[in-house]
Amino acid sequence: MSSVLHTPEQGGDHPMEHSNYLVYHGLLLPRAVHSQDSLQYAENFQVQDEDIFVVTYPKSGTTWMQEIIPLILSGGDLTPVHTIPNWDRVPWLEETRTSLVIDKMRCPRVFVTHLPYHLMPRSFFSSKAKVIYVTRNPKDVAVSSFYFHKMASFLDDPGLFDKFLNKFLSGQVLFGKWTDHVKCWRNLDLGDRILYITYEEMLQDLKGALVRFSRFLNRELTLEALEKVAEHCSFNNMKNNTMSNYSLVPEDIMDSSKSPFLRRGMKKCRTPFTV
């Protein structure tokens, strides 16, 4: 199989391809957590019928879902989210750590991914694996992504917000254009294998969202468990959970003094916009 990365000989002339980023099928990915091996691993990954994929465009509620889904599957038992970092608890399919933790994962396995539909593993399309697709208002996505770039040393400094916004709108950001990502996961022949929800719906009625998730995954929660999961998945509780707030990541990689990873939670994130 040919290389999945765009080397210069393969037309890897993306304007932002350099030491911080690699280009994969035209999409920018951070080299810090992606490699040729990890992307080939994702392409050839053997999806099981019981697998669950949470799909998001970056900064659209991924970390929140890494907290929620394990709690639903555990029936409200907080042990997983108090003892396992979220990146190992619900790993990114396309990132380098997945191959290291896959043998420790129990069925049903849960993964998050930012991949567009057509770049999912080949075996995904013939499987019965379920998908939860979370989308978020693009204005909030842009602002959240801007501040994430400020605190993540493995990404380029975003500069002024107007400059970053132009890159966001043109797709010169991680995983390409927001519109392309959302469109490619719509109108698919996945039938009852996929559940669509918005970040805003989750903010407005978290308990209602939890009920939808639990029914979709055939894991009905008791009222007591529902209350417990909703309470734990509040912004303040997640912000104080070292297994979820990225405080375990060294400061020279993610500097929370520049901008905390979990910034505002339940509030809107559009401060840099003037309109």
Residues involved in catalysis: 114
Buried b (16+ CB within 10 A) or exposed e, 87-118: bebbbbbbbbebeeeeeebeebbbbbbbbbbe
A 10 A CB-CB count for 62 gives: 20
Q: Cα–Cα distance between 252 and 265 in angstroms, integer? A: 24
Report whether 259 contacts 236 (CB < 8 A): no
Given the structure tokens 């290389």, which residue do they identify? 3
- Helix 206-216 crosses helix 62-73 at what angle (to 10 degrees)? 60
With 0-12 / 13-18 / 19 or more C-beta atoms within 10 angstroms meaning exposed / middle / buried, residue 266 is exposed
Q: What does the chain come to in residues?
A: 275
Mention every residue, 6+ apart, whose C-beta is less than 8 A from residue 267: none
Strand partners, 18: 21
Radius of gyration (C-alpha) of the chain in whole angstroms: 18
Given the structure tokens 């990890």, which residue do they identify? 38
